Every structure is written in structure tokens, then in C-alpha cells.
Amino acid sequence: MGEQMGLNFMNDDLQKRIRQAMANPQNMGELANADAVGTVGNSDCGEMLRMWVKFKNENGKKVIDRATFQSFGCETAIAVASLATELIRGKTPEEALSLKSEDLAGELGPLPPMKIHCAQLVEGALRSALDPAAAEPKPTAAPAPTQPALSPTLQDSFSKPKEGVKIVFLDP
Ligand code: FES
């Protein structure tokens, strides 16, 4: 599968860091009573990522109390999401939105070109949760109507989105 192939192209060091993050991924799974949810997909590799965010009030400021994610197969996206959900705890939504995919990937270090979109998927899910209006896809980013964006298998495996949850497909 694509991810397996992708890992083979990485240097050993990065593979090791991804495996380490994968060995004990943080904040995986649905977050009950989340205040915000963002779901994004990449129509090229078929990966989808959903992020849940819960806020709390700290000294009169709204900050991120917890964030969790669900991903469907890509190890790099899982590793980045695990780091990112830890990184944004205690940040205001604005602070979290100012983080770029390279910041979210943090200690994984620079990702090879073919894996950069995995971190961008995490950034996209976060944006979609925290700022849904800005995360709306541009009309040109919509997949061609004749081409299904996702394989039925992946779509089937993805837990049924709740009413009102929208999946945003990121620019390829
Ligand atoms: Fe596409 Fe990782 S291979 S998100």
C-alpha cells in the first residue's frame, strides 16, 4: 500500500521517529462532548483524518483543553496528529491556528516531500475544526464529479459522520 511504499523512501532516522510515535500514539479516538470537529480528506492517497477539540476557560481566556483524532491508515499522519494534539493543549484557537504543518510535525523533523501532505492533512483537520469557514474548499479544489474521491472500502471503514459534519478535501 502507498504508505508502506512511502516509508521505504524515508531515511532510517525518520522511520524510527515515526515508529516511536506510532508505538504510543497520544489522543487517538473520538472525544466525547467535543466543542469542535474537523474532518479532511486527501483524494490522492485516500487518507481521511478527523480531529475533535474541546475548550476550557483559563484565566478568562478560551484555550484548548484536549484534542483527539482519528486517522485511517497513514502512519505519518497518525504520528503527526499524535504530536500535534499534544502540542496544541493549553493554546488559544488563534495560537493553534498560527501553527504550520512543520510546527505540528515538531520532533519528527523535516518530512520528505512525498510525506509533507500527511502533516498538511493534520493542519487541515485542525483548521477545519477551529475555523470551519476558512477551511472551506475553493471551488477548483473539488474532485472531478466523474471520479470518486475515495474508494468505497475506505469510505465504508470510516465511521458514519454525524449529522452536520462536513468533510473538507484539501488541495492536492
Ligand atoms: Fe496521504 Fe499520508 S500518505 S496522508
How much is the pTM? 0.77
Task: Assess whether pLDDT exceeds 60 at residue 149.
Answer: no
Q: How far is the CA of 60 from the centre of ligand 1 (A)?
A: 38
Instruction: Tell me, yes or no, whether 153 lies in a domain.
Output: no
The whole domain housing 15 covers 11-135
Instruction: Tell me, yes or no, whether 67 lies in a domain.
Output: yes
**Which atom of ligand 1 lies closest to the CA of 44?**
1
> The domain spanning residue 95 has which CATH number?
3.90.1010.10
Task: Assess whether pLDDT exceeds 50 at residue 44.
Answer: yes
User: pLDDT digits over 56-78, tens only?
Assistant: 999 999 999 999 999 987 999 99
49 lines ligand 1 (CB under 6 A): no
Q: Amino acid letter at 50?
A: R
Q: Which of 53, 47, 50 is nearest to 70 (CA)?
A: 50
List active site positions.
45, 118
Instruction: Tell me, yes or no, whether 160 lies in a domain.
Output: no
Q: Amino acid letter at 148?
A: P
76 lines ligand 1 (CB under 6 A): yes
Task: Assess whether pLDDT exceeds 50 at residue 2.
Answer: no
Position 5 scores a pLDDT of: 46
Instruction: Tell me, yes or no, whether 99 lies in a domain.
Output: yes
81 lines ligand 1 (CB under 6 A): no
47 lines ligand 1 (CB under 6 A): yes
Position 77 scores a pLDDT of: 96
Rg (CA), the chain: 16
Domain count, the chain: 1
